[in-house]
Structure formats: structure tokens, C-alpha cells
Chain A
Amino acid sequence: MPEIALKGVTKRFGKFVAVDSLDLTIADGDFVTLLGPSGCGKTTTLRMIAGLETPTEGEILIDGKTVFSSRTGVDISPDKRDVGFLFQNYALWPHMTVEQNISFGLENLKWDKARIKERVAGLLATLKIGEFGKRYPSELSGGQQQRVAIARTLATGPKVLFMDEPLSNLDAKLRTEMRTELKRLHLETDSTFVYVTHDQLEAMTLSTKTCLMRDGLLQQYAPPLHVYNNPANVFVADFVGSPTMNFIEGTGSNVNLDEIKIVVDGIDLMFTPVSGSITLRDDQQIVVGVRPEYIKIGAQGKVRAKVYSTLPSGMETIVRLSVGAQLLTAVVFGAIDFAVDQEVAMDFVEDRCVIFDKESGCNLALGRLGVV
């Protein structure tokens, strides 16, 4: 069964380094998302694994077989790598009908006509586009085109499926619907999915493992909830989660055995690590990361805050609070409409706050945050 391994894969376009010595192993049956802002090298990585792009250096193995190696000069063409590829713009052939689009790959495999017909009909039914078989792609809506593209990719039954931002051209409602179906498809087809996206929500909801990249460098490769709760650095913490994490900058120092006192402009905070004690340098500049859901607003609370704005969306309410010189974001379940400039009390809860080293951005510890 296929396992994909990248070893020291680098891609340079002239002087620009798109992907910088990437090591990555994608296990069989995984649903891996390559996540990052545009230009981080995620699409290039995907295209290199598929064989559409030639790496400058490194080695790629699919199912234990070397498909590319800059050392030995092996470079197996995409059609011999036994993969499927779903393109961002679907890449449906405009001069072929839906049926012809889907059957093209099967013809190349020299299937006989009856079998092709049966397979195409089956796929059309599975993807609920049965009535569009004779239409041309330009006569379909975006969502229907998307389904045709998926059917075309699945037709040959590839064990590895690559997807390059397949949902980014759909409207929000359709996107949610397709997400559900992609997740089911992953289980039903029992194949390995590698999925490129810049939408952290997609990565969070779909994948078994998320590979976060920035400027061609791997930032963190872990299951999405692990990335969410224990981000490797400030960049990852900031990129994942919506609304984004609160970052409070201050100067830290070790006090009382393993506690850390953080002096912030306006308030003094006390951080109790739960992931093991750490030792700081003298007057180390640190950044405290607090997810919005770990700020609790209520009648009781140690911190006085002023409501800066309230954004109720029905199910939840995003509240911006000003605390001293800081502007913090909190999320409250349910719709609560605070008045602007209303005085409230707040507290930090749970032991999942993170402190980062300001200079390197690295995660130092997870822990509980309190106010002195």
C-alpha cells in the first residue's frame, strides 16, 4: 500500500527557493493537508510529488519505489506514478462532454466500451450528476463542474489522490457541503489524500495530519488538533484558528520554583507551565498566546475590561476587549450584545495558553495563565 516519502526535497526557480529541503512522510490512508499562505510552496510540493514539477534536489518515494532522485537521476513521469490529481480550476476539457471527460482516463487504460460505460454511469450516480452526462462543462455550474472533476479523478481508481485547493472556487455553502463529501470519499475510496489549501478551517476539519509551510520551510507536521492546541511557533499559532489567537508581548522571569511572571504594559501575568518547567534568560522577551475561547467574560473576574466592540453572529459572539493598552478578542457562546464601552470583568481559563520566545517565535511551554 502506498506511503509517500519526501527526503530533502528542494525546488528553486532561479534564485527563488520555493521549497527548502523538505522531509515529509505521508502514511497510507492519511488525509494530509499542505497548509500555508500563498507562495509558501505548498502547491509546488504537491506538483513535485505528482511529477508535474521537477525538484531541484532530493528524493521522492511512492509506495517504496523511488519516483524521483536528483542523485541517481530517476524521474518517473506523472502517468507512471499511479496518482490522481484534482485541479483548482477543475481543468475539465471544454470540448468534451461530461461523459467523455470521465471516460478519457479509462480509454487510456484500454478498458472495453461496456465496462467504461458502466463505470461512468456508476460515478455519475455516486456524485449525483447523472442528468448532466451529455452536457459540456461550460453548461454546468461551478459545483457541478467540481463533481465532474472529482468523478474524472476517481474513475481510474487511484490509490493516491492529490487535490490543489479544489474548493476555493465554490461559494461558502457549497464548500461546506463538498467538505463533508470529500471526507466521506476519503473513507469510501480507502486511498491516501494529499490536499493543498490556504484555508485553515479546511485543514482543521478535513485532515488527519496537517503540514504547515511558510516560505518553503516546514513549520509543523502534526494532527490538526495538536497543531491548534500546541502550535510550534507564533506563525503557526497565528495562522491556525479563527478568530485568531491573542498575542500579548511582555518580559518574563522565573519566580516561585517553576512559575513565570510576565510584565506586560498595564498588567502583570503569572504563567504556570503544565508541559514541564522551563528556565528563562534574564528579562527574556516573550509572547503569550491565548485562544479567544480561553478568555471568559463574566460578573466575577480579576481583570476589569472595557468592551471595544461586539460581533454577535447568532451561535457565538466575538467580543473585543480593551485591557490597559491591550486589545483582546474573546468568544462567547450564544448571542450577547454588549454595549460599546461597557465595563466587564474577565479571566483567563484552562491550561492551554502558550508562551513563545519573542526572538525565535518558538513555543516554550503550555500552561495556565493568571493575573497577579
Chain B
Amino acid sequence: MTIANQARSFFRKPHNVILVILAVALSFLTLFPLLSLVRDSFVVHPSEVMTVKGAKVGELTFFHWRKVFASGLTSANMLYKPLWNTVKTSLGSCAIAILLGGSIAWLVTRSDLRWKSFISVVFIFPYIMPSWTLAMAWLNFFRNRLIGGAPGLFTALTGIETANWFAYGAFPIIVVQGLHYAPFAYILIGGILRNMDANLEEAATILKASRFKILRRITLPIVMPAVLSTFLLTFSSCMSAFAVPAFLGTPVRFNVLTTQLYRTLNGLNPGYGYILALVMIVIGTGILAVNQWFIGKRKSYTTITGKGSNISLVKLKALRTPVSLLVVVFLAAIAILPLVTFAVESFIMAPGNYSFSNLTTQFWIGPGRVDIGGGEPGILINKYVWLGLWNSIKLSVVVALMAGTVGGLAGYAISKARGTRLAALVNNLAFFPYLMPAMAFGAIYLSMFARPFLGLPSIYGTFALLVLVGAVKYLPFASRAGVNAMLQLSGEIEEAGVILGIPWRKRITRIIFPIQKASFLSGYLLPFISCMRELSLFVLLISPANRVLTTMLFQYNEKGWNQYANAINLIIIVVVLSFNTVINKVTGASIDKGIGG
């Protein structure tokens, strides 16, 4: 066969066409930006002309690298301290998430705990809600007078002034992120426990092992790989979290990598920021590599599923009701109470005064008053809020359509050409954005699209940029869903269509998509909801014209307009929760079925 003929037969298969297009497009959208980011860390930027002595804009320099890594106190403040803070808070959060999520997973799957269905539904809430929800609730409760402003509910109710370490900084960040990711740990570990062959534990029971010994020698070692995997994924999520440390750390100048990145990129030294972004990408990639290596090891056992239906449950006996009650009360405190505080905070006139006479609807429907919040009207009659909500929904819909469609096609093509080098390349490229911390990803796109290049005009500040960054960042959700959907479908299904001479487009739309509707749809829905509650990805790229709700919330919070922030947060949560519920009811897909984030 001649080369021309070979090429023709290669391209006659639709999945090969898709793979080639995706390989080129994704290289351009993920690898190329990475290179551009590296380059930017060596270049003098316009705002840096004064700091880098004797340099002109665009010149190559090692200035940033030297400053960030090897300049004594500057480096310590710039990189090492925030890095240490990131590691510290992420480790702490992981510990809380895994202990809490794991315990509840065990209680739900292995004991005769009461109200299980309620618990398993409500426990997921903190994970579906935006990550800063609990951080804001924490502030509503525990903020103190030390940094100015009014004290929170706790002080108002008890008269006890909260200590700084308790209200701000490492401690609350660890607690809040731990609670936010505990459901994630619960989902992963619970999934393993639920699928774990109950016979494995029963075999030990018959051989006279005690309950505790079974847990220690059988159950824990078997779920260990899942726990480790949970640990690594949670760690990388915590590391890339921006909102929580921004809310809780900034008041006491407690910086982590993400907040530092935000500061430098928004300030006069973007070159430093690009290096910090690289550091985060290296760590993120490293963690995922460790995870992959671990999953592939000899003693890991993914195929341990059996009929786990009729396991005999551990009887909690006298502790049954107290433990169940404790869990329910705790869940109410972390999943429902925060919403109450947002409502309360948004209805009070003078912050810190929770008396009845201080209630007002000013921040919801009041007309603007010069003496409050810079004359902003209440959020329900504020056209900018409505614009933000409209932007959020528009952005999420467009992003979901793009990511879902491309991801679905990617999944189709990857599974069709499984085993080829091209498929592996596209698979990795499509997963690559997942490794990158959201803010670093935003930074890359900022660096790449802030100026015209390759003949394209600068799209910085446009809606198109937000769509692009969102679609690429959430592509992994969709391509994963697509690959999973296709793997469950035997190849013969499509081949039967080929034999009958049905054209490719019809095979996709009339045969493959309808059969695996739920899986493909979740490839659209996960990007949608993730996008609705995304902050760190967009915070660097947003311009006043295309503000979305989350960045508005962040701005209100930065200005200290607490009531507006709480009201907007409530709107976001209601939108996200209701979309997730409706979507879940209709299609069975839910954000908690995703791969974390």
C-alpha cells in the first residue's frame, strides 16, 4: 500500500479524524500555553521595568527565578512560606476529610446507623456548595473585632471574643477545607466499601476474628489504596483552592500559594506569579503521577467487587441512637446552618447587631443609599447582579456545551482507537487540564492571550476567553464521562450499524448517544455546575463587563460589604443546589459523581 492510500484509509475512519483534530487543538490549548508560561517567567514585563535594573520590556532575564528561589528573605516571603503554609493546611485538611469522610462511610455502609438515607444526602451538600460557603459561614460566626468591623454571631450570642488564631489563618482554613472535602472522601471510600465483597469480611468472621481485628487486618488494608488515592486527590484540590484561604487567611496576612499567585499577578510583578504557577503545576502533576503509579501497583486490587448486598451490619447497640443523633446534628451544623447564617447576615442593617429591630430588607430590595455600600441598591433590584447571574448562566451553558460535546467525541475516539499511541496522547492531553490548579490555568491563559499572537487579536477581557478557559479546564470531566460511557458499550453495537450502512453521524446520534445517554449527559452537567461555582479559574481573567456572580461575591467580600456578599452567596448556593437536584432527578448525574475538584 502506498503512503497516500494508507493515509486515506486512516482518515476514512471518523475516530481517527477526531483524534488528529483534537491532538492539534489540545496541544495548542494546553501544551503551548505551558511553554508560553515558561517563557513569560524569563521575560521582563512592562510593569517590571522599574524593578529590573537596566532592562527593557521583553528582554530575557533570570531576575524572577533568582528572586523567587534564591533571594533570602524575599524568597522566603514570596515562595517558601506560602508553600509551607499550603502544605500545612492541605495536609491538615486531608487528615480531617479522610477521618471524617471515612468514619461516616464506614458507619453508613457497615453499621446499623439510623437515618442513613438522610445522612448520605445531606452529607454531600458541603461538597456541592461552593468551597467558600463554609469559610463565609465561619466568618459569620467567629469573626472578631481585632481586624476591625463587627464581631460575628458567636460573640454576639455568648459575649466571648474569639482569638485570632481561631477566627483567621491556618486553623479555620484546615477545618473548613477538611469539611468541604470530607464528602469527597466519603464518596470515594464509601464507594469502595459498598463494592467491596462482603464475603471477605464474612470469611474472617467465620474464622473467629473479632470485629476490631477484621477492621484492622481485612477492611482497612483493602480500602487503603482508595484512601491513599483520596488523600492525593484531596491534597491537590486543597493546594489549588483559592477562595477559602482568600476569605480566611487574608485578614491576618496568612498567604498560601494561590493567594500569593493572585497578589503577584494582580500586582506589579507578574513574572513572579508565572513561576509560582509553574511550581503549582509541577506539584500537581507530581501528585497525580504518584497516584497513577500507585494504582498500577501489584498489590492494588480494583477488581474486588462482589455481591455486597447482604452484609451483616455491625450493631451499635446502646450507642446507636446517640451516634446517629450526633451525626445528624453535626451534618445540620455544617450543611444547613451556614445557609441560615447567610440569610441572617443579609437581613441585618448594622453588622454585629443581631437584635430584631436591626433587621432590614435594604440589601435585597432596598434602593441605593449613599451611606451604605457605596450607594448600591439591593441585590434583587441591582441590574449588575442580574447581569452577573445572566453571565454566570450563559457562561456555564456555553462551557458545558463545548466541553460536553468535545469531551464526548474525545471519549468516543479514544475508546475506538484504544491501544494506539495517538489515542493515548489525546487521552493525556484531555486529562492534562485536570492536573493544573485552576488559578495557574487562569494565569497561563492570561499570559498567552493578554497580547495578540499568531495573528489572533488579544482576547483578554472578552467573554470568549472565559468560555475557552472554562471549556478546556472542564474537558477532563467530559472526556472521562465519554470514555466510561464508550467502554461500557460493546464495539459490536456500532459495527452492526456500519454493516447496515448507517452513516457515522447517524450512528452517533441515533445509536450510541441514546444508549449511553446518562453518561454522556453527565459530561455536560459536571462542567455546567462546576462552572457555576467557579471562582479561582476566572478571578484573574474577568473584566467589569463580563463579571460573573462568583467574582462579584469575591469583590463585595473584599470591599467588606458583608450583607451583599452573603445575599449573593445564598443565590449562588440556591442556583447550584437546585440545578444539581433537578439534573440529578432527571438524568441521574450529579456533581458528586465527578472526579473531584
Contacts and interface: CB of A to CB of B under 8 A. Distances in A.
Interface of A: 47, 50, 52-54, 77-80, 83-85, 87-89, 91, 93-95, 104-105, 108-109, 136, 138, 152, 156
A77 B306 CA distance: 23
Most B CB atoms within 10 A — which of A47, A104, A109?
Answer: A104
Contacts of A95: 221-222, 224, 299, 301
B298 A104 contact: no
Contacts of B306: 89, 91
Interface string B337-355: 0000000000000000000
A47 B304 CA distance: 21
B312 A104 contact: no
A94 B301 contact: yes
Contacts of A84: 206
B119 interface: no
Contact of A78 (B200, B206, B217, B224): B206
Contact of B209 (A47, A79, A138): A79
A144 B298 CA distance: 19
B218 A79 contact: no
A151 to B, nearest CB: 12
Contact of A104 (B207, B222, B301): B207
Given A91-B306, A108-B208, 10 more contacts: A50-B206, A52-B205, A78-B202, A79-B209, A85-B203, A87-B203, A88-B199, A95-B222, A95-B299, A136-B299
Contact of A93 (B206, B218, B312): B218
A104 B224 CA distance: 19
Contacts of A88: 199
Contacts of B224: 95
A365 B304 CA distance: 51
B422 interface: no
A88 B200 CA distance: 11
B468 interface: no
Given A93-B222, A94-B301, A52 B202 contact: yes
Nearest to B310: A53
A174 to B, nearest CB: 20
Contacts of B304: 94
Interface string B76-87: 000000000000
Contacts of B203: 85, 87, 91, 93, 152
A88 B310 CA distance: 14
B310 A87 contact: no
Interface string B289-312: 000000000110100101000101
16 contacts: A52-B310, A77-B205, A78-B205, A84-B206, A85-B203, A87-B202, A89-B197, A91-B202, A91-B203, A91-B306, A95-B224, A104-B207, A105-B209, A108-B209, A136-B298, A136-B299
B213 A108 contact: yes
B335 to A, nearest CB: 30
Contacts of A80: 208
Residue with the highest number of chain B CB atoms closer than 10 Å, among A47, A84, A138: A138
Given A95-B301, A108-B207, A108-B209, A87 B221 contact: no
Nearest to A137: B301
Nearest to B213: A108
B222 A85 contact: no
A94 B222 contact: yes
B583 interface: no
B247 to A, nearest CB: 42
Interface in B167-216: 197, 199-200, 202-209, 213
A193 B304 CA distance: 27
A53 B312 CA distance: 7
- Residue of A53, A91, A104, A156 most packed against chain B (CB within 10 A): A91
Contacts of A79: 205-209
A85 B298 contact: no
A136 B303 CA distance: 14
B199 A91 contact: yes
A83 B218 CA distance: 20
CB-based closest 3 A-B pairs: A105-B207, A91-B199, A94-B301
A19 to B, nearest CB: 13
B117 to A, nearest CB: 15
A150 to B, nearest CB: 12
A87 B306 CA distance: 11
A87 B203 CA distance: 8
Contacts of B218: 93
B207 A156 contact: yes
A53 B92 CA distance: 41
A285 B278 CA distance: 86
Interface in B222-269: 222, 224
A47 B310 contact: yes
Contacts of B312: 52-54
A161 B304 CA distance: 24
Contacts of A91: 197, 199-200, 202-203, 306
A105 B208 contact: yes
B217 A104 contact: yes
Contacts of A104: 204, 207, 209, 217
Contacts of A109: 208
A108 B208 CA distance: 6
Nearest to B200: A91
Contacts of B222: 93-95
Contacts of B207: 79, 104-105, 108, 152, 156
B226 to A, nearest CB: 13
A47 B310 CA distance: 10
A105 B197 CA distance: 19
Nearest to A156: B207
A89 B208 contact: no
B205 to A, nearest CB: 5
A51 to B, nearest CB: 8
A77 B200 CA distance: 17
Nearest to B303: A138
